[in-house]
Chains A and B, each alone.
Chain A
């Protein structure tokens, strides 16, 4: 009998399990997750409503049952024998597979300074609960790392009235994922909201109620959160001798160096058209890769080609970005009543777009931009800058051309 095993029950692994059924796969599907809960969504953890963490599950036990998915929770996969096509679980069981999907995700990077064990991670539901219950009795919090997670948490914790400090080793926050134009706007907004920034600073020691910076500054912190990024979970792939780098390496079909093993989501470093492997850490990527991997495991031969897209919510502002803006792109700004749109062109072709505005007010513009990118549109920069030109009309022209 055919059997597919999926290791990792986050957004990607869970999506893949259901996508296998949607594509008509009738063999056994086993989903293995190390956390004790039903599969749940991670994005809401750093955007809690009314300051409380809620668990938004991806599917009910009944939905898993109805789809014929065996969900093994609270167990990890400790070894992978690609030759025998078998994985070993942390409870000693062995599972045989015909095809295996590694959706092992990523884990928080650890601080290396003295007292690092005092810092809380922020990745799982249990982490989120620990942080939010920890701050309930605190006055001050230091967030180490000024990336998306750190800045989202800074907004949430300011909203709870805490004294919030963000410590970032780079000269500016949000330098990695957010286009500079919007990174500086978000930075300003955090300053207006009263967040204290310590930029270009390392941490030399975390003490009780204090973070000591490399320049000798003491930052008050009843609670310390480490938000210095994640590293892909590749240990299992390594036990099988699969090709790895900054993630589990796959080709464009999400197939690893073993043809029976696929990878998707945060752990997968996917070969790009034009060379190199790229790993994306986003909700939509996790789902889109899961769907492609599921179809390919069921026999399709489909290259993964989705345009990267992510969002972040900070205070009442929503940031969205589609494509990968680069410093050498021509940047065109469109000012709108509720915020700003930025378009990025390479040799006249639209390749990326980003927006920052109140709530989801600019979401549809980003969606239309994404469709323009997919249509290989070459819009006139003056037209892009003009708020009176409807992007939908541009899209219809691009498709007609």
Chain B
């Protein structure tokens, strides 16, 4: 697994998300209420909308356009109109730095 440095943990607010673009693709990185980090594909599976603009509450991210929602720990689509799960990627914090494994 090859890890990519994405940002500092402090760049993401708790119960928040940021967009991370890498290798021509876009991802969303979340900091949960448990202070752990998670990474998913960046675009909603319903329409190509950046999820990092959506509201993060607990372990749920809501699409800013159509209110479809996902559990960002597992990528599971939990509210319509989203029905296709999000791809997830390993993420970790090492010395305050957020790293993700994208392949």
Contacts and interface: CB of A to CB of B under 8 A. Distances in A.
Interface string B46-77: 01011001111100001011110000000000
B53 A364 contact: yes
B65 A364 contact: no
Contact of A360 (B15, B50, B57): B50
A56 B15 CA distance: 32
A368 B65 contact: no
B62 A392 contact: no
Contacts of A368: 55
Contacts of B55: 363-364, 367-368
A311 B65 contact: yes
Contacts, number: 34
Nearest to B53: A360
Contact of A56 (B47, B64, B65, B67): B47
B62 A361 contact: no
Contact of B15 (A44, A359, A392): A392
B15 A364 contact: no
A284 interface: yes
A363 B47 contact: no
Judged by DSSP, the binding face of A is: helix
A364 B47 contact: no
Judged by DSSP, the binding face of B is: loop
Interface string A335-361: 000000000000000000000000111
A80 B17 CA distance: 51
A359 B48 CA distance: 13
Contacts of A283: 66
A364 B67 contact: no
Interface size class of A (residues with CB under 8 A): 10 to 19
A368 B64 CA distance: 11
Interface string B1-35: 00000000000000100000000000000000000
A361 B49 CA distance: 11
Nearest to A19: B80
A250 B74 CA distance: 41
A147 B20 CA distance: 36
B15 A363 contact: no
Nearest to B49: A360
Contacts of B54: 360, 363-364, 367
B65 A360 contact: yes
Contacts of B66: 283
Interface string A292-329: 00000000000000000001000000000000000000
Interface string A82-121: 0000000000000000000000000000000000000000
A368 B62 CA distance: 11
Contacts of A361: 53
A283 B67 CA distance: 11
Nearest to A338: B53
A371 B57 CA distance: 12
Contacts of A311: 65
Interface string A255-272: 000000000000000000
A284 B47 contact: no
Nearest to B46: A56
Interface string B36-53: 000000000001011001
A360 B55 CA distance: 11
B68 to A, nearest CB: 11
Contacts of A364: 53-56, 62, 64
30 contacts: A44-B47, A56-B47, A283-B66, A284-B67, A287-B81, A359-B53, A360-B49, A360-B50, A360-B53, A360-B54, A360-B64, A360-B65, A361-B53, A363-B53, A363-B54, A363-B55, A363-B64, A363-B65, A364-B53, A364-B54, A364-B55, A364-B56, A364-B64, A367-B54, A367-B55, A367-B64, A367-B67, A368-B55, A392-B15, A392-B57
Given A283-B66, A367-B64, 7 more contacts: A56-B47, A359-B53, A363-B55, A364-B53, A364-B62, A368-B55, A392-B57
